[in-house]
Structure 1
Amino acid sequence: MKIVSLLFLCIMSQITFGQELFSPSKKVAVRFELTSSGEPIYSVLYEGKEVIKPSKLGILLKDGTRLSKDFNTIDSQIKAVDETWSPVLGEQSNIRNQYNEKSFFLVQKGSNKKLTIVFRAYNEGVAFRYEFPFEKQVDYFVISDELTQFKLTGDHKTFWIPGDYDSQEYPYMETLFSEIDNNKVVMDNGIALKSIKSRFRVQSPLMMKSTKGVYLNIFEAAVVNYPVMHLDVDTSDFTLVSNLTPNAIGDKAYLRTPSVTPWRTIMVSRDARDIVASKLIYNLNEPNRIEDVSWIKPMKYVGIWWEMHVGKSTWDYAGSQNAQNAQNQDLIPSGKHGATTENTKRYIDFAATHGFDGVLVEGWNVGWEDWFGNWKEDVFDFLTPYPDFDLDEVTKYAQSKGVKMIMHHETSGSVGNYERHLDRAMDLMKKHQYPAVKTGYVGRIIPRGEYHDGQAMVNHFNFVAQRMADNKLLLNSHESTRPTGYSRTYPNFFASEAARGNEFNAWSNGNPPMHETILPFTRLLGGAMDYTPGIFEIKMSIYDASKKEQVQTTLAKQLALYVTMYSPLQMAADLPENYERYLDAFQFIKDVPLDWQESRYLEAEPGDYITVVRKDKNSENWFLGAITDEHSRTTDIQLDFLTPGKKYKATIYRDGKKAHWKENPKSYEIQSLTVSHKTKLKLKLANGGGTAISFELLNN
């Protein structure tokens, strides 16, 4: 017993020194202390140097109690964890969860309130959270503010979007930290609902790079029963302070003991690839709670969706001019409705011909005529189809073709209405064998005054995922809070939007070419995104000669996005007739898998470029995606990830010699050659361009 205790002490001495906690690699450390006035503060070190200067911690309760001073440490506890777990779907088959942890048990003089602060040190960064322990009886309390600081060491390059409580659908700004100012954001950006309450507030995840080449990312993980954290910015001393999304009366969170806050995370590395490849956010979430996961499968789909965005058809059946008739259930068809039985059959035929799993149909159900912007509570019942959409006939036709249908539930932001109808809506899905649903939350939230990022909505989004899991249904949520790794706990929550997606290119100032090089460093750290890539007809003038809007990439980059932007749910978003004109390029979308054994980020620089290779979970084939920003790029890629001694057929989909995202976006070339792990490929990416490659193992 003495030997075991001595061994334990030796191990613990390797991960702590005084109040410092080291990562397993010793490169990262977090330092915690109480000041002379009992204030908890922490700092983060990387390679022995501060990257987060001493920063305050604390919680403000609504009853006036400040859990930020007058503390004593009554105990501490340390442990080391090194485990491996397997995601149901993911970028790799196995994820290592290795960290050192230290918990500090605090008690406040005077109030005698207890607070625990838990730190974890990973090789790629630090995480910490507040815990409110249970004592003799349950204690109910309201959080008015979280006082967490992140004091930076300098004026870092920063990739940011405004701290909007209702939307993440902004193009990223790239400025120095000192230049953050929401007055610089172009507000004519196509976002329907904006709730920016401060000029100096940004969203997390916040990606930064110091002048010394150190990459930093501030985010959060496991947001459960708590509001989303935004960040208030002090540009004068390079400080960030947590800002929790309030509810309709200004409260932040209603909690009871025992409970915990989400993890606050700080990723740090000299190599940007460590940030983009990190699984820190997933590791901080609870393990999978679904026992039988056999029904959770990736899906590649097409759908009646893009044609509405480009103006070819509409979601509504009768048109807004017939809104009053819609109220009276006396619908007069406008002739432009997209979700008809016959049109759906056309998409089903296309999906069956090209081996796609599913078809999404938006606008199938009554209620679209007059809800947008009117803050109506009872818009949809999620059960009643329009007269020209025959649910039974569509179901039988899809089954005869071996194609699954994907349900669409636009809630119009009316959360109570959706929850009241949810069980019946799921019953309808199961009756017609719809395995997945895309939900939407466009517009202001009802109950009135709530925000998309508030505690109530976080609980709603998680509740829907749980109820869908109970019914063995997959969930893809749009206009939701950005994910923070909850798909580890409920892997049926397999995708969401929660960022500026591809559709903005159809009718707004669009997504600049650097947009897709930033999302993997920010939004995608917490979960898969339904970005809806694969647009081949880049310029919207093909539908209306007066339109100037366009997708701000080359066609080849649209292919590469299927690899660089991980998701087990991927849409071939363009119209079937557009793909028919480019079947040779379309082949890559048909071939690329959605679930992976292994992923390697070969090159990465936020705002500039990403090159990633992934190995199919079910074969020995690899796929590569490389994208760049508005600048052209040439790079050499060594294929040493391929199995030594084996030959592969490489099919390369690349930008044409004169391709350019704006001037000549559809120019592409396809080349096939035999390669091995010794081969070096030179990739030439056009301005706003990309390269996609499939590596098929040959029988030697």
Structure 2
Amino acid sequence: MQIKIITIFCCLFSFGNIIAQKNIKLQSPNGQIAFNLFIQKNRPFYTVTFKNETLVQPSSLNLVFDDGAALENCKMRQPPTFSEGIDDYQLIVGKTSVVKQPYKQAIIFFESLDGAKYHVNLEVKIFDDGLAFRYLLPSQVNKISYTLLEENTQFHFNGDPITKALILPNFTSSHEGLYTTALLSQIKEDTLMDMPALFQCNKNVFVGITEAALLNYAGMYLTKHSGILTSQLSPLPGQKDIKVKAQLPHQTPWRVMLISDRIGALIESNIITSLNMPCAFKETDWIKTGTTTFPWWNGTIVPDTSFTPGNNFETNKYYIDFCAENNILYHSVVEYGGHEWYTNDGNGYEPGPHADVTKPVYGLDMKQLCDYAKSKNVGVRVWVHWKALYPKIDTAFALFEKWGLSGMMVDFMDRDDQEMVNIQTEILQKAAAHHLHIQFHGAYKPTGLSRTYPNEFTREGTLNYECDKWNNLITPDVDINIPFTRMLAGSTDYHLGGFRAAAPNQFKVQYTRPLVMGTRCHMLAMYVVLENYQGMVCDYPDAYIGQPGFEVLQHIPTTWDETKVTNAQIDEYITIARRKQDNWYIGTISNNRSRELAITTNFLPEGEYSATIYSDAEDVAINPNHLTKRVISLKNNSIIKITVASGGGNVIILHKIK
């Protein structure tokens, strides 16, 4: 349920005085963040301050249509409206279950003075931990639709912030790569930066830029034009100029700036979901998040058996039995030996002319498999290439429901133009009608739609442990970037669960039974540090059975009631505490440096707790899979001192005693 307490109030000045001043100010509820808008030479600019210090210098706003620019020469056509209230809602999937967030809001009304004379409204919403704005396109005189060539939104930072961003070569991307850290001035002009991007400004103020509620619009990137950070939209396929075509009225996604002098506040923020519409589904009991197998990662390893391994009932039964015995909610049917579970005459995983996701390969009866899994209280998911799924989406989803599937990973989307954005929205909507959840792979970042469509469990959009099958790029130094960048947008699929850690000098690439870098405790802690509603347990069963720490994966939640960042230093380490009902899970990961940290439990409610602590063993430099486990009792406001090895981690599980 959503409750909004809204007060509409008049401007402090008459409209004539506002025009004369050409300055509109909106402050956050706590007064620390301010958004200022003014018109200079008939063009709108905005600035942003934090604690009275300028973060964003005058930055222009504009939309460029095929028949003219809307805001290059404009005026305010009527007085702004101001409101304030509290976003009060519950999340079905998320890093918190209940959000109560005060805000202030303004809508500013513009009219272009020449050309096509567009009416454009700017909606601004400001919170204690950031702000967002979007362009509203109301119904226009003599227009029923529009064609957008570009959205020129500037973010002109004061000073030269340290930038942490994913640099991409073009718009057709899986959004996977290593993050670049550099002064903004050192990044080349016209370099395409993916979002979220993090900016560390003067006096250690942190700004995360991303977007929310990406619907029927092109995905946004950041680039530098004449030294100023500017938005750039992904073009529609087959050409370079047209970015968006839509019917009126319409609106852009929200342009979001997460702002704080405490980096953990950006990770804790709920702004992105608050900017999305409430849940679109009347019934949600069928939505169940949890961990899943993903045998593709390990090579679909099975023990010596009497059956032939492959795309068959027996191979999948082996994994389903493992799930049933170890509290793993889902099993994923993917492929075997490089061939999908469905009929395909294409090369590799690319769909051929006769690819058909409604026809399993010979010897695989999906209804039989789902019935067996159901008898074991295990759900079945499938992997599909989007090009094989989408042409048969209605038939496929109806059949998937008939079989008894729970959901799927949809892969190789590799675009975020308006057409692809609409395809993904359609997939979510139609999947929900058949009680199917969705994991988008090879896809762009989340934009908070898991509030509106909570069957969106997770997205990739980041380089991750799948790469351990073919290269050595994913190190603890890479892992530590993700909470401060990609995870600012939401649920982050990272192919967790590799239980064969190797020291850096012993790591080697293996396509089957891959190795991972970082200690066993580092891997366990990643399940807490990363927000991910569809956690993977992607190694093979015998890699887990009897192994220290596996009990953490058997009981780890995937959605949370509360999230707190207790320790964080960019590039170095992070500690995140997450609550599920009365139990708390605290995860810490480090880069390639060992360190001692103190965790203060002042976030705990009053009471006594039993703390189970998983720590790196003393010999992890030689045996990175070794760990220690101890149980202590403590009270709230205690201090827990931990030692984290190079590339290590720590997990603390707190159960309330009384």
With structure 1 as the length reference, what TM-score do the two structures score? 0.85
Determine whether 1:498 maps to 2:498: no
Determine whether 1:354 maps to 2:326: yes
Find the partner of 1:627 among 589, 592, 614. 589
For 1:355-394, what per-residue CA distance to the aligned partner results, in whole angstroms no more than 9, with x for missing partners? 2111001025244564248x65535311222224232432
Larger deviation, residues 144-153 vs 663-672: 663-672
Q: Which residue of 1 aligns with 2:398?
A: 427
Alignment of 1:328-477 (within 5 A): 338-363=310-335, 364-367=340-343, 370-372=346-348, 378=353, 380-411=355-386, 414=387, 417-441=388-412, 452-477=415-440
State the shift of 1:273 in Å.
Answer: 1.1
Determine whether 1:245 maps to 2:245: no
Q: Which amino acid aligns with 2:635?
A: S
Alignment of 1:123-138 (within 5 A): 123-136=128-141, 138=143
Could you tell me how far apart the structure 2 residues matched to 1:137 and 1:471 are? 41
**Structure 1 unaligned residues grouped into runs of 5+:** 1-5, 182-197, 314-334, 443-450
Alpha-carbon distance change, 424 to 169 in structure 1, aligned in 2, over 3 angstroms? same
Determine whether 1:169 maps to 2:176: yes
For 1:415-465, what per-residue CA distance to the aligned partner results, in whole angstroms no more than 9, with x for missing partners? xx53221122112221221111111126xxxxxxxx611110011011100
Alignment of 1:477-516 (within 5 A): 477-516=440-479
Higher strand share: 2
Could you tell me how far apart the structure 1 residues matched to 2:310 and 2:295 are? 7
Q: Which residue of 2 aligns with 1:324?
A: none
Q: Which amino acid aligns with 2:360?
A: P
Q: Which amino acid aligns with 1:408?
A: W
State the shift of 1:550 in Å.
Answer: 4.3
- Quick check: 1:461–1:480 contact (8 Å CA) kept in 2? no
- Quick check: 2:465–2:494 contact (8 Å CA) kept in 1? yes
- Quick check: 1:217–1:267 contact (8 Å CA) kept in 2? yes
- Quick check: 1:279–1:525 contact (8 Å CA) kept in 2? no
Alpha-carbon distance change, 8 to 421 in structure 1, aligned in 2, over 3 angstroms? closer
Could you tell me how far apart the structure 1 residues matched to 2:585 and 2:121 are? 45
Could you tell me how far apart the structure 2 residues matched to 1:122 and 1:12 are? 24
State the shift of 1:114 in Å.
Answer: 1.1
Q: Secondary structure at the residue paired with 2:516?
A: coil
Larger deviation, residues 130-139 vs 500-509: 130-139
- Quick check: 1:222–1:284 contact (8 Å CA) kept in 2? yes
Could you tell me how far apart the structure 2 residues matched to 1:452 and 1:522 are? 20
Could you tell me how far apart the structure 2 residues matched to 1:600 and 1:546 are? 37
Aligned residue pairs total 630
- Quick check: 1:502–1:511 contact (8 Å CA) kept in 2? yes
Alpha-carbon distance change, 366 to 168 in structure 1, aligned in 2, over 3 angstroms? same
Q: Which amino acid aligns with 1:480?
A: A
State the shift of 1:688 in Å.
Answer: 1.4
Q: Which residue of 2 aligns with 1:654?
A: 615
Q: Which residue of 2 aligns with 1:607?
A: 571
Q: Secondary structure at the residue paired with 1:467?
A: helix
Alpha-carbon distance change, 157 to 545 in structure 1, aligned in 2, over 3 angstroms? closer
Q: Which amino acid aligns with 2:268?
A: A
Q: Which residue of 1 aligns with 2:26?
A: 21
Find the partner of 1:69 among 44, 47, 72. 72
- Quick check: 1:510–1:551 contact (8 Å CA) kept in 2? no
State the shift of 1:244 in Å.
Answer: 0.5
Could you tell me how far apart the structure 2 residues matched to 1:270 and 1:630 are? 25
Determine whether 1:674 maps to 2:636: no
Larger deviation, residues 269-278 vs 154-163: 154-163
With structure 2 as the length reference, what TM-score do the two structures score? 0.90
Alpha-carbon distance change, 546 to 146 in structure 1, aligned in 2, over 3 angstroms? closer
Considering only aligned residues, what root-mean-square deviation do their CA atoms show, in Å? 2.7
Q: Secondary structure at the residue paired with 1:294?
A: coil
Find the partner of 1:552 among 517, 523, 532. 517
Could you tell me how far apart the structure 2 residues matched to 1:545 and 1:307 are? 9
State the shift of 1:220 in Å.
Answer: 1.0
Determine whether 1:109 maps to 2:81: no
State the shift of 1:12 in Å.
Answer: 10
- Quick check: 1:12–1:79 contact (8 Å CA) kept in 2? no
Q: Which residue of 1 aligns with 2:537?
A: 572
Alpha-carbon distance change, 538 to 388 in structure 1, aligned in 2, over 3 angstroms? farther
Q: Which residue of 2 aligns with 1:448?
A: none
Could you tell me how far apart the structure 1 residues matched to 2:162 and 2:217 are? 30
Q: Which residue of 2 aligns with 1:180?
A: 187
Q: Which residue of 2 aligns with 1:562?
A: 527
State the shift of 1:645 in Å.
Answer: 3.1
Could you tell me how far apart the structure 2 residues matched to 1:149 and 1:690 are? 39
For 1:14-56, what per-residue CA distance to the aligned partner results, in whole angstroms no more than 9, with x for missing partners? xx995111111110001111112x1111111111111010011
Q: Which amino acid aligns with 2:73?
A: D
Percent identity between the aligned chains?
27
Q: Which residue of 2 aligns with 1:120?
A: 125
Q: Which amino acid aligns with 1:395?
A: C
Could you tell me how far apart the structure 2 residues matched to 1:548 and 1:530 are? 20
Alpha-carbon distance change, 574 to 466 in structure 1, aligned in 2, over 3 angstroms? same
For 1:1-21, what per-residue CA distance to the aligned partner results, in whole angstroms no more than 9, with x for missing partners? xxxxx99459999xx995111
Q: Secondary structure at the residue paired with 1:486?
A: coil
Could you tell me how far apart the structure 1 residues matched to 2:422 and 2:457 are? 17
Q: Secondary structure at the residue paired with 2:167?
A: coil
Alpha-carbon distance change, 180 to 658 in structure 1, aligned in 2, over 3 angstroms? farther
Larger deviation, residues 132-141 vs 401-410: 132-141
Q: Which residue of 2 aligns with 1:585?
A: 549
Q: Which amino acid aligns with 1:341?
A: F
Larger deviation, residues 594-603 vs 221-230: 594-603
For 1:567-599, what per-residue CA distance to the aligned partner results, in whole angstroms no more than 9, with x for missing partners? 2211111111111241x3101111222232222
Could you tell me how far apart the structure 2 residues matched to 1:393 and 1:377 are? 27
Could you tell me how far apart the structure 2 residues matched to 1:47 and 1:146 are? 29
For 1:45-70, what per-residue CA distance to the aligned partner results, in whole angstroms no more than 9, with x for missing partners? 1111110100111011123x012322
Q: Which residue of 2 aligns with 1:192?
A: none
Could you tell me how far apart the structure 1 residues matched to 2:367 and 2:389 are? 23
- Quick check: 1:59–1:147 contact (8 Å CA) kept in 2? yes
State the shift of 1:199 in Å.
Answer: 6.1
Q: Which residue of 2 aligns with 1:276?
A: 267
State the shift of 1:626 in Å.
Answer: 0.8
- Quick check: 2:333–2:341 contact (8 Å CA) kept in 1? no
**Structure 2 unaligned residues grouped into runs of 5+:** 1-6
Q: Which residue of 1 aligns with 2:250?
A: 259
Larger deviation, residues 68-77 vs 542-551: 542-551
Alpha-carbon distance change, 43 to 377 in structure 1, aligned in 2, over 3 angstroms? farther
Q: Secondary structure at the residue paired with 2:549?
A: helix
